[in-house]
Structure 1
Amino acid sequence: MNRTWMRWGAAAVSGLLLAASRPPVGQWWLAWLALAPLAAAVRRSPDARSAADLGGLAGFLYAAAGMGWLTHTFGVWTPALWCIFALGPALWAALLHAATERLDSDGRGLAWALGAGLLWAGVESLRSILPGLSTSWLALGFSQAACLPLLQSAALVGVVGLSAACAASGAALALAAEGRRLPAELALAALGLAWALGERRLERPAEGVPARVAVVQDESYDLERLVKLTDVPGVRDADLVVWPEYQLAVNEGHEEPYRALFARRLAGVRGVKVLGAAVIPEDPKAPMQNFSWVLGPSGALLGRYDKAHPIPFIERRLRGHSDPRPVMTPLGPLGLQICYDLDFEDGARRLARRGARLLAVTNLDPVEWGAAQHAQHSQMALARAVESGLYVARAASSGQSQLIDPAGRVTASVPTGASGAAVGEVRLAEGRTPYALFGWWLVPGTLLLLAAAALDALLGLMRRRAFLAYPPSPATV
């Protein structure tokens, strides 16, 4: 078979393996080898541009197979979004090819495999901060939410570190196919150590002050229905009740009368209430508001949290608020996130570092987006629980509403598509994981490495073009 077609085939295999590591297939172990075919093809590519084409194909297939549910929202424009996503793997492949000579000089490939992992993490970090396009969806590290022992490493290195480890493992396997087995052997040893340490972390007993928490799931946007689901034994007696995102429509300028109305309707609920609400002005050019109210047992307003990360293209009228702080409640400091906020590592990490005892998340995932989208989104919540070391109470409109412990275990949930409530016990305690305390530098660090690699590749290209334009004379040679 023509070598060019073999390289294209390898890239396609990588794209499909990457998608299979996430729901609905959900084979987490594939993430550790998925990039091996693509990495091998990159090493055999004649130039960086050819490598970028291979990375683009793998990225497109990863997005198309992993985010097919986007068609429910964007219709015929969905392939354009998949193409935008494909630019990330294309950049990774091009920079990895350009850096191969420099990183592979030790003869064993250790630096090359490690560089492949850090560059992949850098590309994911870049994708998460792009203005107007920011997303962390399909970050490779989220796949490990299906493997609790390995997910525990997120408490140390976060999802960004897990992504780097998965990519480095794939690169190490590509080297093993060339007969250089040391990087793969070291990767396997590190994986075994991470598994053992994860098992030990899973055995730790729960710490903190016990509290009863209820998460309500419903997509009717009907106040009376939500009250009926809440004002039942078990839910109304909980210390904290969380409703989904966007459930309460509030007229602009009348926030206080609406808040008082909701407080009266929930007078029979004895605990703290977190209610997802929104102000959407009739003027299509006016900014909207997406927020959560925190009401005390008496109905008094304890605080308000405004969404930090608007969903690209969908929440164009929403202005993000980027400085999350815990709200003081009778339960202690409460950290708040809204839907897309939890997709990004900064919010949960900052709240944990600032003393939050629990994360309450209001969420909206329309039922028509399907079970795969709901499962992918819930994996992000599991990872954030481990990163922050906090219990997460996530109330979703149609699923998956969950109570999640700091080890990423779901302790109570409502099935996707159902209406109802899940009630369970949580432990209120500061997270203070190594990642919550010191993980702030990992994303900027990977971005700096990515920028350095891009600069080095650009300078290398300029030197080659200068050489071709002005080759040395025979006398100087």
Structure 2
Amino acid sequence: MPVAVAGFVLSTRGSDARPFRSGLWAGLVFGVVFYFSHIFWMRAVGIPAWIALSTLEALFYGLMGGASALLQRHRWWPLWFASAWAAIEVLRSGWPLSGMPWGRLAFGVVDTPLAEALPYAGAVGVSFLAALLGALLAWVVRGAHGPAAGERGRVTAAVVLAALVAVLAVPALAPWRAEETGTFDVAVVQGDVPGPGDDILYDFRRVTQNHVDATVDLGARIDAGETTRPDLVLWPENSTATDPFADEQTHAGILEAVAAVDVPVLVGAIVDGTGPDQVLNQGIVWDPVTGAGERYTKRNPVPFGEYIPWRAVFTKYQFFDRLREVGRDMLHGTRDEPLPIDGVPVADAICFDIAYDDGLVAQVRNGAELLVVQSSNATFIRTDQIDQQFAITRLRALETGRWVAVATTNGVSGVIAPDGTVVATAEPRTRAVLQEEVGLVDGLTPAMRIGPWSGRAAAALGALGVLLGLLAYRRSGRGDRSAAPAHDEQENGVTRVSEPA
């Protein structure tokens, strides 16, 4: 990763005449190559969606390339470059529409020495550190101010790089670990998806019945003394693809499952919205005594997958015919408070929510002691998306210092410890129940205490760096225009060109 970032830096240095434009084109090429391959799995939704989303995200790398060319024009540019890189990641993670966080540097550091920095610096901070490593490596290659700086610049860069590596060794030698205040027994249900396995609507009633049957079987094993009674049973997103309050068969199945285990079941349900063209994606706490209670609504529905922006425009064209399959638009959730389940505050994230900072950070800062993820990755079950998302989930365990339980319809389900270790996992495309006793943590990591301020600081530093780069470019431009023209001198019949002082 640092080598790749260093390559980005060196290729976006830009020409002296038009640095932003030349840097922009180099950054755009980088973005196209990286993002089209990184989210190749989006072709499972549709080739137009893959092309459109990849092209949009590649533009951000073009913007970063232009900024990089400007930032490299003044002293200590690696600091400004890393700040701008982290700021661009934050920007594209929330805009346009709900943004697309996939491809952030921090999402690739699990199982590397940088992972131990996550509890201290968070995802934004670790992206900054990874970008800074790459920028310093490029500084070593080119010298402090380009090849003309010679060995002095390279020595300075090497010393700074070594100092950063030494700083990053501190979290690895003294990893952040929270004291557990209690335990919680969680049963994760992966019911499987019938038929081809990649279409949740192929037989949505069988999907629900699979989760009901798995939970009833768990209840039978509890009654037989083969396993302990959990404190919570976790179902995935889309475990009911129809409104359980409006559909009698689905409602009856949930009641049967909850009664069998006699503990709360967090059901992933599609619920009708207030209007005929609206729908909600919710995690509903279904209590064996009081019934359906607290709910978490997915905060970040996927554009063009779960709702269609500018629907009237896009559905006019045959090229976007598949968008018509999204018949109703999913509404955004706004909940910042964790779900109270059996006296324990639990933070919920539904599928792609795990890649966004806002919802999880808010719930943890508001007292969540355990994280759960409800996901339906059936559409991507034959792609690398399911592994990428699980890696992001492991990052969140490290960043928050919390245990994480993940339930998916058919992969990847698992239980993750606060140090990112995968304690249990289920094979994709199988029916399974994972039951683990996990720890409860109420302490906040430094990253959670910092919260959104790391992103704000990166944005401020990045903007300041670009401003300074623009000023340096304008000053150099004025200097060139105001300089006296060179004049020729004759000496012994040889013409010499004298440059102005």
Query: Are residue 274 (structure 1) and residue 259 (structure 2) matched?
Result: no
Alpha-carbon contact 1:339-1:362 (below 8 Å) kept: yes
Q: CA deviation at 1:448?
A: 2.7
Instruction: Name the CA distance, whole Å, in 2 between partners of 1:255 and 1:437.
Output: 43
Verify the 8 A CA contact 2:84 2:463 in the aligned structure 1.
no
Specify the alignment match of 1:40 in structure 2.
Answer: 10
Cα offset, 1:288, TM superposition? 1.1
User: May I ask how many residue pairs the two structures share in their alignment?
Assistant: 434
Contact 1:244/1:396, CA 8 A, preserved across alignment:
yes
TM alignment of 1:346-365, pairs within 5 A: 346-365=358-377
Give me the whole-angstrom Cα distance separating, in 1, the residues matched to 2:34 and 2:439: 38
- Structure 2 match to 1:292: 283
1:322 to 2:294 alignment:
no
CA offsets 1:223-279 (integer angstroms, 9 cap, x no match)? 221111122236882211111101213449738996575234420113221110002
Distance (Å, rounded) in 2 between the aligned partners of 1:251 and 1:271: 22
**Shift, 1:344, TM fit:** 0.7
Q: Report how far residue 359 of structure 1 moved.
A: 1.1
- Please give the alpha-carbon distance, in whole angstroms, between the structure 1 residues aligned to 2:139 and 2:294: 54
Correspondence 1:254 to 2:246 = yes
CA distance in 2, matches of 1:124, 1:378: 20
CA contact (8 A) 1:239 1:270 kept: no
Counterpart selection for 2:184 from 207, 211, 218: 211
AA aligned to 1:116 is F
Provide the rounded CA distance (Å) in 2 between the counterparts of 1:329 and 1:423: 17
Corresponding residue SS for 2:285: strand
1:118 and 2:70 are equivalent in the alignment: no
Aligned residue in 2 for 1:312: 303
Determine whether 1:224 maps to 2:209. yes
C-alpha distance in 1 between matches for 2:80 and 2:469? 14
**CA distance in 2: counterparts of 1:347 and 1:113, whole angstroms:** 31
Q: Kindly provide the amino acid, as one letter, of the partner of residue 243 in structure 1.
A: W
1:270–1:297 Cα contact (<8 Å) kept: yes
Q: Is residue 206–residue 427 contact of structure 1 (8 Å, CA) maintained in 2?
A: no
Tell me the C-alpha RMSD between the 2 structures.
3.0
- Give 1:18-37 correspondences, 5 Å limit: 31-37=1-7
For residue 36 of structure 2, the aligned residue among 60, 64, 70 is: 64
- Residue 392 (1) aligns with residue 404 (2): yes
Q: What does residue 165 of structure 1 align with? A: 129
Tell me the secondary structure at the aligned position of residue 294 of structure 2. Answer: strand
Residues in 1 aligned to 2:343 and 2:63: alpha-carbon distance in whole angstroms: 47
Name structure 1 gaps, 5 residues minimum: 1-30, 105-110
- For the 8 Å contact 2:380–2:386, the answer to whether it is kept is no
**C-alpha displacement of 1:197:** 2.4
Q: Which amino acid aligns with 2:124?
A: V
Structure 2 CA distance, aligned partners of 1:449 and 1:414?
A: 43
CA contact (8 A) 1:236 1:269 kept: no
CA distance in 1, matches of 2:49, 2:379: 21
Whether the aligned pair in 2 keeps the contact of 1:367 and 1:417 (CA below 8 Å) is: no
Summarize the alignment of residues 54-453 of structure 1 with structure 2, pairs less than 5 Å apart. Answer: 54-102=26-74, 104=75, 111-132=76-97, 134-147=99-112, 149-178=113-142, 179=151, 180-201=154-175, 204=177, 207-217=180-190, 218-220=192-194, 221=204, 222-231=207-216, 232=218, 233=221, 237-251=229-243, 254=246, 262-279=254-271, 286-298=277-289, 300-316=291-307, 317-366=329-378, 368-453=380-465
**How far apart, in 2, do the equivalents of 1:280 and 1:32 lie?**
47
- 1:420 positional shift: 1.2
Residue identity opposite 2:301 in structure 1 = P
Query: 2-side partners of 1:295 and 1:214: how far apart?
Result: 15
Identity rate of aligned residues, in percent? 27
Looking at structure 2, the residues matched to 40 and 54 of structure 1 have their Cα atoms a distance apart, in angstroms, of 10
* Structure 2: gaps (5+ residues): 143-150, 195-203, 308-328, 486-500
Are the aligned partners of 2:178 and 2:443 in contact in 1 as well (CA < 8 Å)? Answer: no
Distance in 2 between residues matched to 1:398 and 1:174, nearest whole Å: 43
Q: Which moved more, 1:342-351 or 1:233-242?
A: 233-242
Q: Give the partner amino acid of 2:261.
A: V
Deviations 1:376-427 (A, max 9, x none): 1111111111222211111112221111111111111112333212221201
2:345 match: secondary structure: strand
Give me the whole-angstrom Cα distance separating, in 2, the residues matched to 1:473 and 1:150: 49
Residue 71 of structure 1 aligns to a residue whose secondary structure is helix
CA–CA separation in structure 2 for the residues paired with 1:458 and 1:177: 24
Aligned in 2, Cα 1:252/1:334: closer, same or farther, shift over 3 Å?
Answer: closer
TM-score (norm 2): 0.79
Whole-Å separation in 1 of the counterparts to 2:352 and 2:88: 19
Look at both structures and tell me which one has the larger radius of gyration over its CA atoms: 2
C-alpha distance in 1, partners of 2:173/2:483? 65
Question: Does the CA contact (< 8 Å) of 2:98 and 2:300 recur in 1?
Answer: no
Q: Quick one: distance in 2 between partners of 1:130 and 1:451?
A: 17
2:411 maps to amino acid: G
SS of match in other structure, 1:302: strand
What is the one-letter code of the residue matched to 2:213? K
Can you list the C-alpha shifts for 1:74-122, whole angstroms capped at 9, x where unaligned? 21452332221111221112112112223x2xxxxxx211211111101
How far has the Cα of 1:371 moved from its partner?
A: 4.2
What TM-score do you get using the length of structure 1 for normalisation? 0.82
Q: CA deviation at 1:363?
A: 0.6
2:402 corresponds to which letter in structure 1?
L
Q: Distance in 1 between matches of 2:24 and 2:358?
A: 30
Is the CA contact 2:373–2:406 (under 8 Å) kept in the aligned structure 1?
yes
Distance 1:356 1:262 in 2: 26
Paired residue secondary structure (1:408): coil
Q: Give the match's secondary structure for 1:271.
A: coil
| Worse overlay, 289-298 or 447-456 | 447-456
Counterpart of 1:216, as a letter, is V
- Partner SS, residue 44 of structure 2: helix
